[in-house]
């Protein structure tokens, strides 16, 4: 098939032509390709078509092509689209069907591909490793890492240097600052260790360079090496080290066979690499992509530097901004050998919205600094189907946040009542934190619900407060710590309060369901008869499932919402059970044992650790509901973080939170602390303050560019003052000129 045939087929299916820039991307031949794609410019479609071109026109074996996306959902979506086109192509060219197997394409997140490729190629250094998710990594570090557990003042210089990671409110002392007598608490040290260790790997820190650095970097190496040793001892691997292992794998004989192929169809080698959302790539990922394409130079990256959101995962926009230079340095080619294509036509939003966010991002001096954006970026060019003379950029206000929320809910209700939209899911409320507290999503969710509009807010962090989760935890604790003696020994009041809340929930339920309380009481009695220092014949998940077998849980496990939370809780129990005891690889914390000194109770140490490690984490971090739906249920209005909204679009987008100031958060400070120790020195240099400001500006840019028909700010009157970053050029005058006020 030739390229024009392919493009013709696509046109027949879609009913429209590719624009000239899109066509260039699809047609591009060999060599690095840098696609700078603005919001709503059809970049996913272009990636799909470019893949089809490689398979059907260039006749490459699908299994020699790697495509990475940012989420599994996006990967599934991409593959689905490729598959649909492929089926239509087969209808016209049936002879191709037995020759081409697009299922061979390697599509996924970089993490999932690293994992799958190493398993598929039997990388011995990755055999039988347990991949730790966030919760598992937390629990592992909490129990095992020296940095979280050392009781002497050994790490004080490190705490001092990384003060922003280790200071913070301590509910026991009621203070923010640690001191030598009272070191930072274990939860804080655990969280800090996660950030520190992940960052060191993600930013490709050179341990040799760290060795030569002044104090306390020697302590950093010491803490990090201790962590890695323990990971290996227990055959655990976190997501950051998964990538490190993959990079190392590529240098082994099996890795080289994967990379270069061996002439068979089973091992065709890697011929093309395509990367979506490249703006959120971190240095170790950049290194992986460059290494995968070092032999071919066939690396195509697609992204928008203005939409970078993931510095806290080690992402640096710099990878996107400096792609050309990175290719020049790594491949030893000339700058002109890197093809740059700008996809700047916007098909998503009303033209006024497009002009608004295009003006917005350019209105800040910090975005005009060299290296802040991809150079020579053209302005966005709106060519979508949406038009009309109505206030497409507007704001709703009120005296307070509550009044603003009320006016917003009335407005949404009117939109539905007057058939401007069909369903609440055609709106989205975007904000920084969707916790349903008074200063965040609380008033908005309440105002909507008061008007009968359901809200979809899976990240509201109140997972542990539902009757089924609280009830089952209460029942479980009533069995393992019936007199709450271990709980009483726990310091932080927030743990105690939460556990008491669960116990009360359980008691209320148990009053109505005697079978349940009977089971709990008999279990307590049964444990009380077990002699000292003996194994108990059921593990913690067994207890969980026995509770679940009783009403009302038995009925709840078939309730559409409750059952997913209960399932999630079983996963948390399983995770906790799988954390080995320090020094005992393969041990299973889910097995229970009676105490050595006290009759008829579960080991005091076990109970105490359960509260400190697991409950402490659940309570301090807050847990999200499992996200069941791939899409928002149509009768619900989604309240989401800007991060959740990445890649999505909605007819009406409401954004709350213009009164933000850039914060020097730990991800920025940490990046700065390790800047000079990277294996490859960064190609762009900004101060932490500049990076913080740029990040905040990009954050709103992503929010604004989700809107199709209308972008509506929610701004309480008290926030309507100059100097904050949600406004064009920080100026309220410009803002009021561009955005129209909506009355109730």
Partner 1 sequence: MSWRDYDCLNIPLKSSVQMKNKYSITSDILSFQLCRRQYGFFGVRGYQPAHVVQYWYGTILHQVLDKLHMHYQGLLDESTVERIPTDEEVEIYFNAVDDSLRARGIRAINSSLRKTAINVLKIFNALEGPKLYPNVIDTECDLQSDQGNYILHGVVDLLKEISMAKYTKDYDKVEIWDYKGTKFPDLSIKYGQEKLDRYVFQMLVYAELYKLKNGKYPLKGKLYFMNELFGNSNANETPPEAVYVVEFRDRDINEKINSALNLFSNTVTEIESNLKYDRWDPPEQQPDKETCDICDLRWNCSALTKKYPMRYP
Residue (of 725, 719, 686, 718) closest to 703 by Cα position: 725
Comparison of 220 and 472: residue with beta carbon closer to partner 1: 472
Three-class HEC string of 267-285: CCCCCEEEECCHHHCCHHH
Comparison of 63 and 330: residue with beta carbon closer to partner 1: 63
Cβ-proximal residues to 439 (8 Å cutoff; 6+ apart), any chain: 401
Closest contact distance (angstroms) between CB of 422 and partner 1 is 4
Comparison of 731 and 740: residue with beta carbon closer to partner 1: 740
Cβ-proximal residues to 363 (8 Å cutoff; 6+ apart), any chain: 728, 729, 730, 731, 734
Comparison of 87 and 721: residue with beta carbon closer to partner 1: 87
Cα–Cα distance, 96 to 59 (Å, whole number): 11
CA distances from 500 to 314, 439, 461, 735 (A): 38, 26, 19, 49
Comparison of 430 and 712: residue with beta carbon closer to partner 1: 712
User: CB atoms < 10 A from the CB of 707, how many?
Assistant: 30
Comparison of 158 and 448: residue with beta carbon closer to partner 1: 448
Residue (of 502, 491, 423) closest to 465 by Cα position: 502
Closest contact distance (angstroms) between CB of 104 and partner 1 is 9
Closest contact distance (angstroms) between CB of 144 and partner 1 is 13
Which region holds residue 643: left if phi is over 0, alpha if psi is between -120 and 50, else beta? alpha
Closest contact distance (angstroms) between CB of 155 and partner 1 is 27
Cα–Cα distance, 474 to 467 (Å, whole number): 10
Residue with tokens 């966010």: 357
Cα–Cα distance, 506 to 469 (Å, whole number): 10
Closest contact distance (angstroms) between CB of 48 and partner 1 is 14
Query: String of b and e for 179-188 (b: at least 16 CB within 10 Å)?
Result: eeeebbbbbb
CA quadruple 468, 470, 475, 477: dihedral positive or negative? positive
Comparison of 77 and 660: residue with beta carbon closer to partner 1: 77
Comparison of 331 and 411: residue with beta carbon closer to partner 1: 411
Cβ-proximal residues to 638 (8 Å cutoff; 6+ apart), any chain: 425, 427, 428, 429, 455, 456, 457, 632
CA 712 to mean position of chain CA atoms: 26
Closest contact distance (angstroms) between CB of 560 and partner 1 is 5
Closest contact distance (angstroms) between CB of 193 and partner 1 is 22
Closest contact distance (angstroms) between CB of 664 and partner 1 is 38
Comparison of 25 and 447: residue with beta carbon closer to partner 1: 447
Strands 33-37 and 339-343: parallel
Residue with tokens 């169809």: 265
Strands 591-593 and 535-539: antiparallel
Residue (of 306, 309, 397, 432) closest to 359 by Cα position: 306
Comparison of 533 and 588: residue with beta carbon closer to partner 1: 588
Closest contact distance (angstroms) between CB of 401 and partner 1 is 20
Comparison of 579 and 692: residue with beta carbon closer to partner 1: 579
Closest contact distance (angstroms) between CB of 373 and partner 1 is 32
Closest contact distance (angstroms) between CB of 197 and partner 1 is 20
CA quadruple 697, 718, 456, 433: dihedral positive or negative? positive
């Amino acid at each position: 098939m030739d390229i024009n045939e392919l493009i013709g087929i696509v046109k027949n299916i879609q009913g429209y032509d590719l624009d000239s820039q899109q066509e260039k991307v699809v047609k591009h031949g060999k060599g690095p390709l840098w696609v700078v794609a603005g919001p709503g410019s059809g970049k996913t479609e272009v990636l799909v078509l470019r893949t089809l071109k490689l398979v059907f026109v260039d006749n490459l074996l699908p299994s020699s092509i790697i495509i990475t996306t940012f989420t599994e959902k996006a990967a599934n979506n991409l593959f689905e689209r490729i598959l649909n086109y492929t089926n239509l192509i087969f209808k016209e060219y049936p002879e191709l069907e037995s020759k081409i197997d697009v299922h061979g394409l390697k599509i996924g997140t970089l993490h999932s591909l690293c994992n799958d490729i190493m398993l598929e190629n039997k990388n011995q250094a990755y055999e039988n490793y347990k991949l730790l998710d966030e919760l598992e990594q937390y629990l592992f570090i909490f129990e095992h890492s020296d940095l979280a557990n050392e009781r002497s003042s050994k790490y004080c210089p490190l705490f001092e240097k990384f003060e922003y990671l280790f200071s913070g409110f301590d509910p026991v002392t009621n203070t923010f600052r640690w001191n030598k007598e009272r070191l930072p608490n274990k939860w804080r040290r655990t969280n800090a260790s996660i950030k520190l260790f992940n960052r060191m790997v993600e930013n490709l820190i050179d341990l040799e360079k760290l060795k030569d650095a002044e104090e306390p970097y020697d302590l950093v190496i010491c803490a990090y090496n201790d962590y890695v040793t323990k990971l290996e001892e227990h055959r655990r691997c976190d997501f950051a080290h998964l990538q490190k292992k993959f990079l190392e794998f590529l240098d082994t004989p099996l890795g080289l066979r994967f990379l270069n192929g061996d002439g068979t169809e089973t091992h065709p080698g890697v011929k093309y690499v395509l990367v979506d959302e490249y703006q959120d790539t971190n240095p170790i990922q950049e290194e992986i992509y460059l290494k995968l394409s070092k032999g071919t130079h066939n690396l195509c990256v697609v992204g928008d530097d203005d939409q970078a959101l993931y510095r806290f995962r080690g992402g640096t926009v710099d990878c996107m901004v400096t792609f050309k230079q990175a290719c020049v340095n790594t491949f030893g080619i000339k700058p002109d050998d890197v093809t740059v294509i700008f996809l700047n036509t916007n098909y998503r939003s009303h033209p006024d919205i497009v002009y608004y966010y295009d003006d917005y991002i350019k209105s800040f001096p910090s975005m005009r600094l060299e290296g802040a954006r991809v150079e020579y970026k053209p302005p966005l060019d709106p060519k979508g189907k949406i038009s009309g003379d109505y206030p497409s950029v507007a704001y709703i206000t009120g005296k307070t946040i509550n009044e603003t929320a009320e006016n917003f809910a009335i407005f949404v209700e009117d939109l539905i009542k007057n058939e401007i939209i069909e369903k609440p899911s055609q709106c989205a409320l975007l904000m920084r934190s969707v916790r349903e507290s008074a200063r965040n999503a609380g008033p908005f969710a309440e105002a909507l619900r008061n008007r009968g509009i359901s809200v979809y807010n899976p990240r509201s962090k109140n997972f542990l407060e539902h009757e089924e989760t609280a009830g089952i935890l209460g029942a479980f604790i009533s069995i393992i710590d019936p007199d709450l003696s271990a709980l009483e020994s726990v310091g932080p009041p927030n743990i105690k309060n939460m556990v008491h809340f669960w116990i009360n929930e359980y008691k209320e339920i148990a009053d109505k369901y005697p079978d349940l309380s009977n089971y709990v009481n008999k279990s307590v009695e049964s444990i009380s008869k077990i002699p000292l220092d003996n194994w108990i014949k059921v593990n913690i998940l067994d207890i969980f499932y026995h509770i679940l077998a009783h009403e009302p849980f038995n009925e709840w496990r078939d309730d559409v919402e409750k059952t997913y939370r209960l399932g999630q809780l079983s996963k948390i129990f399983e995770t906790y059970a799988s954390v080995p005891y320090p020094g005992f690889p393969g041990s299973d914390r889910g097995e229970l044992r009676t105490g050595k000194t006290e009759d008829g109770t579960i080991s005091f140490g076990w109970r105490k650790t359960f509260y400190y490690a697991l409950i402490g984490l659940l309570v301090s971090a807050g847990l999200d509901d499992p996200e069941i739906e791939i899409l928002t249920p149509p009768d619900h209005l989604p309240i989401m973080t800007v991060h959740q909204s990445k890649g999505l679009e909605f007819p009406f987008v409401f954004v709350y939170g213009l009164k933000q100031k850039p914060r020097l958060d730990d991800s920025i400070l940490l990046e700065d602390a390790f800047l000079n120790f990277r294996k490859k020195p960064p190609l762009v240099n900004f101060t932490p303050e500049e990076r913080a400001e740029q990040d905040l500006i990009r954050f709103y840019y992503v929010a604004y560019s989700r809107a199709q028909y209308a972008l509506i700010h929610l701004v309480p009157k008290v926030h309507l003052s100059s100097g904050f970053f949600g406004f064009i050029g920080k100026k309220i005058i410009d803002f009021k000129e561009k955005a129209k006020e909506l009355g109730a």
